[in-house]
Amino acid sequence: MLTAVPVLAATDLDRTAELYSAAGFDVTGRHDGYLVLHAGPVELHFAQDQETTPGACYFHVTDVATVRERLEAMVAGSTGPLGDTDYGLREFWFTDPDGNRVRFGSPVS
């Protein structure tokens, strides 16, 4: 296996596309009730159906502070604090409007 692609729940695919675009993703596929996003080699899928439950995932990014700033500007109060971990990453969490919990992190300088 080479990659894992999380499939997350979304109630509004247009809102989801706009929000994740702020984090650096591009819409690369759009189907009936389904959205595919890419940021470099990272692929993320969203499904708009009642069987999909909110999920969680982790993204390694080059500049975690910038990603947090962009997301917090769009959805104030939905991001956790930016902090350094004991395993060498600076990270924060983000909960999107559909309840998906996403963590972003980059190496501590």
Q: What does the pLDDT average to over 37-63?
A: 85
Sheet-wide strand order for 83-84:
56-60, 101-107, 89-95, 83-84
Cα 77 to Cα 94: distance, rounded to the nearest angstrom: 9
pLDDT at 8 over 70: yes
Cα 92 to Cα 78: distance, rounded to the nearest angstrom: 11
pLDDT at 1: 44
Dihedral angle over CA of 55, 62, 35, 100, nearest 10: 20
pLDDT at 75 over 80: yes
Cα 101 to Cα 18: distance, rounded to the nearest angstrom: 17
pLDDT at 52: 59
pLDDT at 109 over 90: no
Give the residue carrying structure tokens 């729940």. Answer: 9
Cα 109 to Cα 96: distance, rounded to the nearest angstrom: 28
Cβ pair 48, 33 in contact under 8 A: yes
Cα 70 to Cα 90: distance, rounded to the nearest angstrom: 16
